[in-house]
Structure 1
Amino acid sequence: MSEARNSRVPLLIAAIIAGIQSLALLALSAEVFFDISSENLRVSSGVGLLLGLLGLGLGAAAVGLVRGIHLARGPVVVTQLISLGLAWNLIKSDEDLPGIVPAGVVLAVAAVIVMACLATKSARAALADRPSDLGV
């Protein structure tokens, strides 16, 4: 029992981080919706809706990881790859906004941790359709 529980630890770590990212996207979506002015109504509505849908999708994928659904891995990996690109952009930014570089570093570290957890043999085994999918 302990071995089975330990084999799911990387998967649970990835799911928790993806869940936190999902909540952050939903919070950003709410912030965009609450900050809509008449001048930028269309753009802000679209951005808020997009962030909300991304947050809900990533949250659903995080739940899928916890349940061991193999189809949840793809959306989570794609999101982390996008996060790495965004993190690079934030780190290399010329903006004088305080906290922009640390935000990029946090985003990059979270993405690398999630992808490393999903690449472990135990996570791949937990998400495999068939044992032969692992090539063992």
Structure 2
Amino acid sequence: MTPPEPLKKSARTLLGIAAVVVAVEALAYVVLAVLDVADVSRDRLGLGVGAGLLLGVYGLGQLFAAWRVSQGESWARSPLIVTHLIQLLLAWNLRDGDTTWLAIVMGVSAVVVLGCLLAPPVNRALGRDIPVVRD
């Protein structure tokens, strides 16, 4: 059995960029979760707590996946790709009206993350059957 190969510098850089962007997004989701729970009123208690819990778990899951992908774990790339494809669809849905700025932010960050995660150096580095370690 061959020892794990270190990530190439270009793959490490791209994974680091993707991880930073996802971490910023994830922290925004966690902050939104806290603000949502803090603003719960009696008439929407279930909805407020449920939405806050969902946003918090989603944000923490994204943060965990970003950390693992930055360490070269290939499994963590899949949930990040799926969620950012969904984010592109949400950005398209928000493109009109007062939410245009949000659509632009969401769309640009999704394209950056997807571009980094699907780049050829990352595909070569994470497409191997052997574990990937950092050097």
Runs of 5+ consecutive residues of structure 1 not aligned to the other structure: 132-136
Aligned residue runs from structure 1 range 1-136, under 5 A: 4-92=8-96, 94=97, 97=98, 100-130=99-129
SS at match of 1:53: helix
Of all paired residues, the percent bearing the same amino acid is 36
Deviation at 1:56, TM superposition (A): 0.7
Distance across 2 between alignment mates of 1:80 and 1:105: 14
- How far, CA to CA, are the matches of 2:128 and 2:104 in structure 1? 34
Supply the RMSD in Å over aligned alpha carbons. Answer: 1.6
Secondary structure of the 2:40 match is coil
TM superposition score normalised by structure 1? 0.85
Partner of 1:134: none
TM-score for both structures, normalised by structure 2: 0.85
CA-to-aligned-CA distance 1:31-56 (integer Å, 9 cap, x gap): 10110011100011110000001001
Judge conservation of contact 2:92–2:103 (CA < 8 Å) in 1.
yes
- Give secondary structure in 1 for the equivalent of 2:94: helix
Partner SS state of residue 8, structure 2: helix
Aligned counterparts of 1:49 and 1:129: Cα–Cα separation in 2 = 36
The residue matched to 2:42 in structure 1 has which SS?
coil
Q: What's the CA shift for 1:126? A: 2.5
Out of 104-113 and 116-125, give the one that drifted further: 116-125
| Structure 1 residue ranges, 4+ long, deviating more than 2 angstroms after superposition | 3-7, 128-131
Q: Which amino acid aligns with 1:41?
A: L
Deviation at 1:5, TM superposition (A): 2.4
2:8–2:125 contact (8 Å) kept in structure 1: no
Q: Displacement of 1:8 after TM fit?
A: 1.4
- 3-state secondary structure, aligned to 1:68: coil
Letter in 2 for 1:56: L
Looking at structure 2, the residues matched to 71 and 7 of structure 1 have their Cα atoms a distance apart, in angstroms, of: 15
> How far did residue 120 of structure 1 move?
1.0
* Range moving further from structure 2, 5-14 or 21-30: 5-14
Instruction: Report 1 or 2 for greater relative contact order, CA contacts < 8 Å, sequence distance ≥ 6.
Output: 2
Amino acid in structure 2 at the alignment position of 1:104: A
Structure 1 stretch displaced more, 120-129 or 71-80 = 120-129
